[in-house]
Amino acid sequence: MEKIITLKDPTSPAAEAYRALRVNLMYATLDQPVKTLVIAAPATEDNAPVPPDVAVNLAVVAAQAGQRVILVDADLRHPLLHVLFGVPNADGLAQAILGLEEKAALPLVETAVPGLRLLTTGKVPPNPSDILSSHKMAELLERLKAQVSSMRFGYDARLRPKVESKDDMKKRGLPSPDEGDAVALAFASTSEPDMWL
């Protein structure tokens, strides 16, 4: 966890910027509170992994502010959250989606940050984009929402569900920016198609 700036150096300007971002997001959504925050990294030319700094640090400051947070690693190509938090990655998002009909307990992992739990990727199947775009992903979201005051998703834009429109997202039960359920953020150099799920 030494690479997580809000834990390593909580009085640094960068950590303070994450706290300010959390407060700004809270005030920006007062009329329609947001429970799910999707933080998408843009596709890179060389397909290199993009560190999930924004998702991780926002989740940490939200938990430090008293929210119950689940941070979901939906980057099925380059999973990193388990490494950053030093936790196992045996079961996670992929297994939760594939085993939903069993209604078993979700494989959430406690962290050293009170109020912050992780859903790591787990063992990644050969078809990761199919997992994220499946209807079971929507069922999983509903189960997760019932357990928290906020969720953070960190994922790779190259794996975003193949949807044609916001209406298609609603049909699949995925977070949509116009519902107040999700805010999509992208960072670094981002093309317009990468800016929404």
CATH code of residue 114? 3.40.50.300
pLDDT band at 19 (very low <50, low <70, confident <90, very high): very high
Taking only the tens place, the pLDDT of each residue in 72-123 is 888 887 888 899 999 999 899 888 888 765 667 889 999 999 999 999 999 9
Q: Torsion angle of alpha carbons 151, 76, 15, 87, nearest 10°?
A: 90
Residue that wins the pLDDT comparison between 11 and 192: 11
Which token pair is 53?
Answer: 């700094």
Taking only the tens place, the pLDDT of each residue in 30-83 is 888 777 777 776 666 666 656 678 889 999 999 999 888 889 888 887 888 899
Q: Measured in whole angstroms, how far is the alpha carbon of residue 129 from the centre of its chain?
A: 15
| Amino acid symbol at 159 | L
Q: Is the pLDDT assigned to residue 175 strictly greater than 60?
A: no
What are the backbone dihedrals phi and psi of residue 165, each rounded to the nearest 5 degrees, phi first? Answer: -160, 175
Mean pLDDT of 128-155: 74
User: Would you give the DSSP letter of residue 11?
Assistant: T
In sequence order, the 6+-apart residues with CB closer than 8 A to the CB of 50 are 41, 42, 44, 78, 156, 188
What is the number of structural domains in the chain?
Answer: 1
Residue that wins the pLDDT comparison between 151 and 131: 131
- Stated pTM of the model: 0.75
- DSSP β-bridge partners for residue 73: 154
Q: Measured in whole angstroms, how far is the alpha carbon of residue 34 from the centre of its chain?
A: 13
What is the extent of the structural domain holding 158?
A: 5-195
Residue 153 pLDDT: 60
